[in-house]
A and B are shown apart, each in its own frame.
Chain A
Amino acid sequence: MARVVILGAGISGHTVARYLGRWLKGSEHQISVVSPKAMWNWIPSNIWVGVGEMTKKQVTFELDPVYRKLGVDFRQAKAVSVHPDGGDGQAKPYVTIEYTDESRAGQTDKLEYDYLVNATGPKLNFGATPGLGPEGGHTVSVCTPDHAIEANEQLQENIAAMKRGETRNFVVGTGHGMCTCQGAAFEYIYNIDHALRQNGVRDKARIMWISNEYELGDFGMGGVHIQRGGYMTNGKVFAESLMVERNMEWITRAHVTKVEPGKIHYETLDGTEAELDFDFAMLIPPFAGVGLKAYGQDGSDITDKLFAANGMMKVDADYTPRPYEEWSKADWPSTYQNPSYKNIFSVGIAFAPPHPISKVMKSPKGTQISPTPPRTGMPSAAMGRAVAASIRDMVNGAPEPTHRASMGETGAACVASTGSDIFKGTAATMTVYPVVPDYEKYPEYGRDMDLTFGEIGLAGHWMKYILHHVFIYQAKLGPGWHLLPD
């Protein structure tokens, strides 16, 4: 009998749990999921919570009943440390966890494993920028449903002020030079624009975008090329056009250094230091690993054997530092297996990427102002499914991982709503294939030009809406869920 422990029940961890649960159901093997929140959250729809178009209930559901259907043991707890060689009287590898459910809050436990999957996602590292974030800072966030609720409350207060005739400055973007997840902010800025227009106060607002991208539309993927109007053009044109059409302004190549009430301080790549006034700001924080520690059998700290300096877990990537011109898709992991411990895997945002996808840029002061690599929903699910299949085969005797999902061979699709109305709404649909450019297969642009495209229209809005329901149905394990694409 093998015991599989999955840390994290987000997009990637829940995908591992769903498939492994289905494939190993009825066998002697045991699966446990450890996650600090009782609820699953369809994170992309937090954007709609952040403008009051959806409630927390519409974007979350309880995990425990779903796992009971699959025969998966759910622990509402956070993982604290990994002990891959056992220790403290235990011969087998184990993780220590700290319960977060009300009845056992603060109690700790040890969970032995034969296979471990780290899918703990990001630590929202608001602390990296003084004054950033909703918890003790001066900006809002849409990264969790509760953050999004607070963002909407502030948005509604500002709308009420504008209805009284006051003017307001809205700033949306990234809150640090090394952020990723620009897509979420990109979607939120259009939803704010739409909400203001619905309330008849758009003329009272100045809407500004601020980000660490070299150019708009970089999205941490080094930008994209698409076919448009008879030209092969850059995604920058597409992104700028969307902003100009909606009367928005933008600042790129910016690292937010500090946020004070009503004032954002930032530095740009050319060394300029400037300030930006705001009444409402939603800035995405930088991401780090969640801070798991690792210990050897003798209790020695071996965290750096399992984790990179940013707290993300080392996998089968090539971490040799190389100049941008020598980056290749071959550097990217494909099995997500830890090189030191073959029974440990890491998927989604929790794995340490070998290098960014966008070229690393530094200001004269030496501040890095360029996005770190995104690991959006589609690649996170693809990794989760591949790792689940590999573990299924390994518990049945395969000597090594049998499935692969390199970001150099997987695509990403992002549908950003820019106004929600079943007849008049639109959304920007953007896809890239592959996420990590492959200049060997696609020498000119590094990507397949048929599968890399951008389009604005009502069709995208319908898709966004349908995807919300389909993914929640699938995550809840509705009948036939496994037949739906991830």
Chain B
Amino acid sequence: MTTEAGAPSEPPRVPVKNREPYQQAYYPPVPTRFTRYFRTSLIWQFFRFWIINFKIFKLLSNSQS
């Protein structure tokens, strides 16, 4: 992958090539385009924001009880 200096790079190409088998990058799950979309989807993340906040709030109140 090459990019012009100064321009933001594309997300890196995941180096899972089975030419040299069973390398480090071969095993872990790599997010699909669908998963990556939801990570920055404003509507979905808006809901997640409140859910995460609620869970952290619960964690805090458990910690202080």
Q: Which of A's residues lie within 8 Å of B, judged by CB?
A: 162-163, 196-203, 229, 237, 240-241, 243-247, 249-250, 378-379, 382, 385, 405, 409-411, 413, 423-424, 426, 429, 431, 433-434, 448, 450-451, 453, 455-460, 462-463, 485-486
Contact = CB atoms under 8 A, between A and B. Distances in A.
A197 B9 contact: yes
Contact of B29 (A237, A413, A434, A486): A237
5 contacts: A411-B59, A457-B45, A463-B49, A485-B57, A485-B60
Contacts of B29: 229, 237, 241
B12 to A, nearest CB: 4
Contact of B60 (A201, A411, A448): A411
B52 A455 contact: yes
Contacts of B57: 485
For chain B, the bracket of interface size reads: 35 or more
A405 B60 CA distance: 12
Interface string B30-47: 110000001111101110
A410 B46 CA distance: 27
Contacts of B30: 241, 244-245
B28 interface: yes
Interface string B44-65: 1110110011011111101110
A286 to B, nearest CB: 26
A448 B58 CA distance: 12
B31 A245 contact: yes
B28 A199 contact: no
Nearest to B27: A240
Contact of B9 (A200, A245, A382): A200
Interface of B: 1-9, 11-16, 24-25, 27-31, 38-42, 44-46, 48-49, 52-53, 55-60, 62-64
Contacts of A240: 27-28
A203 B3 contact: yes
B30 to A, nearest CB: 6
Given A410-B63, A458-B41, 10 more contacts: A199-B6, A200-B3, A203-B2, A203-B3, A237-B29, A241-B29, A423-B42, A462-B45, A463-B49, A486-B60
B12 A247 contact: yes
Nearest to A462: B49
Nearest to A247: B12
Contacts of B5: 162-163, 199-201
A184 to B, nearest CB: 19
A203 B31 contact: no
Contacts of B1: 202-203
B39 A250 contact: no
A405 B9 CA distance: 46
B49 A244 contact: no
Top 6 closest pairs, chain A to chain B, by CB? A240-B28, A247-B12, A459-B49, A410-B63, A411-B59, A458-B45
